[in-house]
Amino acid sequence: MRTTVTLDSDVEQIVRERMDAHGVSFKQALNDAIRDGVRGSADNTFVTRTFNLGLRVDLTHANRVVAELDNQVFLDKVRAGR
């Protein structure tokens, strides 16, 4: 498909760097960059870092606790006439 797009200068620079790095045409570098962006490139994998906070919380009955708290808030509002 042939189309016209306007690239921001930083995006053009990225495509031109891909051209140089891989020895491909502008068209190929642009198509590869789009594919990598849409599919998720291994080079751009996002990793969530975790930290041990030394605290453990048992969430086995978390839904029940939340429901009870919601019920209590509701009852407090009813009693207050809101």
Tokens matching residue 72: 């209590």
pLDDT at 4 over 90: yes
Under the banding of pLDDT at 50, 70 and 90, the label for residue 66 is confident
- pLDDT, tens digit (0-9, with 9 covering 90-100), for 12-62: 999 999 999 999 999 999 999 999 888 876 565 678 888 888 878 778 888
> Residue 73: what pLDDT?
87
d(CA 58, CA 47) in angstroms, rounded, equals 25
Instruction: Output Rg (C-alpha) for the chain, integer angstroms.
Output: 26
Which of 8, 12, 7, 29 minimizes the C-alpha distance to 20?
Answer: 29
> Residue 17: what pLDDT?
95
